[in-house]
Amino acid sequence: MLILFAAARLQKKPAALALEDLDRDLVLAFLDELEEKRNNSVATRNARLAAIRSFFHHVAAADPASFGVAQRVLTIPTKRAHIEVTHLTNAEVEAIIAAPDQTTPRGRRDRAFLLFLARTGARVSEATGVNANDLQLERGRPQVLLHGKGRRDRVVPIPKDLVRSLTDLLSERGLTNHEPRPIFVGVHNERLTRFGATHIVRRAASQSGSTTPSLEGEPISPHIFRHFLAMKLLRSGVDLLMIQAWLGHAQVATTHRYAGADVEMMRRGLEKAGVSGNRSARFRPNDTILQPLANVRLLCGGEALGGRPWLAFGRLRHIISSDT
């Protein structure tokens, strides 16, 4: 894309371009066009820039004469953007889970898969990668082993409704939870793919649109269930570090964006902390507070506290320390 943009801008054939033509100004113009004409998001723009940086890192190492050009391009910063976390309500999630037809094997599989996404917060690759031997259903604390990104495995608990659904699915397929075989499979009895998982979610969302108008026309993906569980845990008072461990985030900063997604929760936090925008009223003592001070004045022989207070308090100390 960068080569074609440079060729059109400089009116040269792609093969006639020199490395010096791909300078910092041209790369910046290319990035601006991505946002303005191709309507790419900031995240996509940064992804394109990362690819360009990778190329110029190679240039700097392979061609020392072009080090200056490469260095100027490598100083282009990534663009910051506010990441809006889109999440569903509890009613919308339950409507999607209830959409598949439970009288067919496909419908029962779809419901179990949707329930798995909503209750565990697993990534789509983690959900499709679960095998029967990753489940622990018989004991008092059912759980599942998820194989996350970067070879970071984690164990998350699973609630009773998901336990029942998974037990029925394993029984229907003739599996035990000791076999290293996939739980969720497609029409050819092979492990469910990412495309198949996305199709299940969108089909269920489309079916539930008739009963839940807010879902009509909405781009629903498997990852939105992950956002739903994170927001639900956060609103329930679960600590961010616990949510980080649950979702398998490498950094708590990734989890922290959920805390900024709910303005109402922030507002309730301000109210709970007693923080408001109004200045507190000036303290004005009432008669109950002033009475002990009047008694002190009488004990001190009518000495004015405002005139020579050290004499008044000196006499008070003498009265208190005396035997009478």
> Would residue 149 show up in a list of annotated catalytic residues for this protein?
yes
User: What is the C-alpha to C-alpha distance for residues 94 and 147, in angstroms, rounded to an integer?
Assistant: 26
Which residues have C-beta within 8 Å of that of residue 215, sequence separation ≥ 6?
A: 92, 95, 96, 205, 208, 209
pLDDT in tens, 16-65: 999 999 999 999 999 999 999 998 888 889 999 999 999 999 999 998 88
**Burial of 323 per CB tally in 10 Å (0-12, 13-18, 19+):** exposed
Catalytic residue chosen out of the listed positions 109, 111, 119, 123: 123
Catalytic residue chosen out of the listed positions 147, 173, 223, 315: 223
Which pTM was predicted?
0.63
Catalytic residue chosen out of the listed positions 87, 119, 226, 227: 226
Q: For residue 262, give the amino acid letter.
A: D
**Residue 21 contacts residue 29 (beta carbons within 8 Å):** no
> Would residue 227 show up in a list of annotated catalytic residues for this protein?
no
Going by pLDDT thresholds of 50, 70 and 90, the confidence category of residue 240 is confident
Q: SS3 of 157, please?
A: strand
**Burial of 166 per CB tally in 10 Å (0-12, 13-18, 19+):** buried
Residue-level length of the chain: 324
- Kindly state the tokens that stand for 18: 């020199």
User: What is the C-alpha to C-alpha distance for residues 166 and 137, in angstroms, rounded to an integer?
Assistant: 9
Nearest alpha carbon to residue 182 among 173, 191, 174: 191
User: What is the C-alpha to C-alpha distance for residues 23 and 37, in angstroms, rounded to an integer?
Assistant: 21
Does 263 score more than 50 pLDDT?
yes
Catalytic residue chosen out of the listed positions 149, 152, 164, 256: 149
pLDDT in tens, 69-120: 999 999 999 887 655 556 688 888 999 999 999 999 999 999 999 999 999 9
pLDDT in tens, 167-206: 999 999 988 878 899 999 998 889 999 999 999 999 998 8
Residues 202-221 as b/e (b if ≥16 CB within 10 A, e otherwise) read bbbbbbbbeebeebeeeebe
> Would residue 13 show up in a list of annotated catalytic residues for this protein?
no
Residue 302 vs residue 202, higher pLDDT: 202
The winner for highest mean pLDDT among 98-112, 142-156, 253-267, 295-309 is 98-112
For 273, which DSSP code?
H
Average model confidence (pLDDT) for the chain? 82
> Would residue 111 show up in a list of annotated catalytic residues for this protein?
no
